[in-house]
Amino acid sequence: MEKMHSALIPNTLLGLAGSIEYKKLKDACKDPKKSSANTLRAILSAAQYTEYGKEHQFATILQAKTDDDLFARYQQYVPANDYEDLRPYVERQKQGIADVLTFGKPYMYATTSGTTNEPKWIPITWTYLRDVYGKMTRVWLYNFIKFRPNVFAGKIITIVGKSREGTAPDGTFYGSVSGVTREKCPSVIQNLFSCPPEVYGIEDYTARYYAIMRTGIEQNVTMLVTPNPSTIVEVGKLMNVYYDDFCNDIERGTLSKKVNIPDDIRQALAPYLKPNPERANELRGLKVRYKIVLPKHYWPNLQIVSTWKCGNTKFYADKIVRYFPENTFIQELGYFSTECRFGLVLDDTNNTRLFPHFHYYEFVAEEELESENKHFLQLHELQKGERYCAYVTTFAGLYRYNMNDLLEVGDFFENTPTVFMIQKINGIVSMTGEKIHEHQFVEAVQRAVTQTGYKMSFFVGFANLQKSTYEFYFEFSGHNRTQAEADEFAKVVDKELCNINIEYQSKRDSFRLGEPIAHLLVKNAYEKFKQECLKEGKRDGQFKMVMLMQDDAKHEKFRRLTVSD
């Protein structure tokens, strides 16, 4: 393995740039009310002459004399939105029409699963990339140096999405914001990446992971970044399946033909591949010694792993702790999504520090989520230990956008609350980022019924976090179906979920989600489940059946209602 090199140059350059932005963050967090008002005014000023700004009276809102009046006017003239409310505006932008949601046209779109069969196209402006993502990244990199001064003394592995996947009708590209952010990193960081960005264009996930680790396992890696810890689990499995192939490739300076890597990407990887028999022998020796080789064995100098640890990802995050050297700092990546880089974790807690000078935040208390007359709270009004749903307004054209996430308030940074993710809400289930809406599951089952001709009396689905898969429970009618038929039906549902939800397909393709498990229910399973719930004190008038859940107690009830039992 190559030796640790000096981190003096990256630490100096990144430390200077990051410390400046960190000071601005601290200053903004001293008075979150004033910072929030200033940010909202800046966003509305930039967009007041857009179609959306004119329709929603941005100019009138900006006439407010006080911060409280500004917040009140914004709530008065601009409704809370989900993506479907904004989709018509985005569709106009995609056709090349300027000044719709923001001034000019977006620099790119980021795609993610939506509430309908059509994915969300999240507009990302150049200003948002440069002034929000760029400056937040400087703080992020500066933070790593503070915790581990040698974090940039070796190579960096990032596992992100493909930066450019296609184009909108007007030619604007769409792709992964994480991939674009990697490309826009400071040059001093670019030189430390262990592989070229072309590897993220490999469609086959096994081949993609192989290409990333082919270069990575050979080098002295000091930092690993990937949002989903489930990805680390899958890569760990791949490492031990292909370990001998990795050793042979490193010895010869080759790239195995066993994996499906396109020729153009093989060519991009060629400069990274040189015969290295010494390292190959080191790796073979590790296998003799440990049998199952882990990152702590081939990356003993690993300083930081940055990944999600909150919400459902905690299950996977707990699994990977043993993978890494004892001194490795496994830091929560922070609460963010395709729609918004909400904030960053900058310490050894799981609490995300918010950036009130980059985003305007609003919140609804957990107990009011079902209310028709929600009270929207400002950032400075949040209370530690309480839970809220977040709404965000950005410089990229999202206005009072419902994030559909339940957050809990942690400690305060300066005078601004920090938050951490609890779970998805409003009928959304997500184990590793797939974000399946209940109605998407229902539609997938309905499509399967149409395709198979099987009649359905009742069905329900549960997320099984331990197995990283979904379990589907079916009560067929008109014919006594076998377990084999239920298994085949579940495969059709699985295929249709892939067609409906691009994130689900991505997680299935990358093995982060396993094949769904089918169960046959006894006759009248729903009625028996309901009766059990009523016996436990649930009121009949309040009884609601959700068709897709992550609820261990309810799941256990349905386990007891299967034919096999």
pLDDT in tens, 123-154: 999 989 988 999 999 999 999 999 999 999 99
pLDDT band, residue 218 (cuts 50/70/90) = very high
Q: Which helix (H) or strand (E) holds 123?
A: strand 120-124
235-241: list long-range contacts, CB under 8 Å, 24+ apart.
Answer: 235/159, 235/209, 236/294, 236/295, 236/320, 236/323, 237/511, 238/206, 238/209, 238/210, 238/213, 239/213, 239/293, 240/292, 240/293
Q: What is the predicted pLDDT for the residue at 438?
A: 82
> What's the mean pLDDT in 197-213?
92
Maximal CA-CA distance, the chain: 73
Q: What is the DSSP string of 317-356?
A: HHHHGGGS-TT-EEEE--S--SS---EE--SSSSPEEE-T
In whole angstroms, what is the distance from residue 486 CA to residue 454 CA? 10
The string of pLDDT tens digits covering residues 405-453 is: 889 999 999 999 999 988 777 678 888 889 898 878 988 999 999 999 9
Could you tell me which of 173, 222, 214 has the C-alpha nearest to residue 196? 214
Is a pLDDT exceeding 90 seen at residue 285? yes
Among 240-249, 366-375, 470-479, which is the least confidently predicted range? 366-375
Flag whether pLDDT at 58 surpasses 50: yes
Question: What does the pLDDT read at residue 22?
Answer: 96
Q: Which residue has the tokens 């086959």?
A: 204
For 346-362, write each residue's pLDDT tens digit: 999 999 999 999 999 99
**How much is the pTM?**
0.81
For the segment 453-461, the average pLDDT, to the nearest whole number, is 91
On the question of pLDDT at 565 being above 80, the answer is: no
pLDDT at residue 542, as a whole number:
40
How does residue 161 score in pLDDT terms, banded at 50, 70 and 90? confident
Predicted local confidence at residue 125, as pLDDT: 95
More confident residue, 210 or 203: 210
Cβ atoms of 472 and 450 within 8 Å: the answer is no
Q: Please give the average per-residue pLDDT across 327-354, as a whole number.
A: 93
Task: Categorize the per-residue pLDDT at 400 as very low, low, confident or very high, splitting at 50, 70 and 90.
Answer: very high
Q: Are 360 and 36 in contact (CB under 8 A)?
A: yes
With 70 as the cut, is the pLDDT of residue 540 above it?
no
- Please say if the pLDDT value at position 268 is more than 50: yes
- Among the ranges given (240-249, 525-534, 548-557), the one the predictor scored with the smallest mean pLDDT: 525-534
Q: Over 458-511, what HEC string results?
A: EEEEEEECCCCEEEEEEEEECCCCCHHHHHHHHHHHHHHHHHHCHHHHHHHHCC
What pLDDT score does 79 carry? 97
Q: How far apart are CA 246 and CA 340, in angstroms?
A: 38
Residues 6+ apart with CB under 8 A from 375: 364, 365, 368
Q: What is the pLDDT of residue 541?
A: 39
The per-residue pLDDT for range 254-265, each reduced to its tens digit, is 999 999 999 999
CB 78 within 8 A of CB 401: no
Domain boundaries, the chain: 31-124+335-424, 127-332, 428-559
Over range 95-106, report the average pLDDT.
96
Q: What whole-number distance in Å separates Cα of residue 105 and Cα of residue 555?
A: 47
Question: To which residue do tokens 């990697």 refer?
Answer: 182
Give the number of other CB atoms < 10 A from CB of residue 551: 13
State what percent of residues in the chain have pLDDT above 90. 71
> Would you give the DSSP letter of residue 310?
S
What is the reported pLDDT for 115?
62
Q: Which two tokens stand for residue 133?
A: 């993502």
pLDDT class for 318, splitting at 50, 70, 90? confident
Residue 539 pLDDT > 50, yes or no? Answer: no
Question: Is pLDDT at 535 greater than 80 in this prediction?
Answer: no
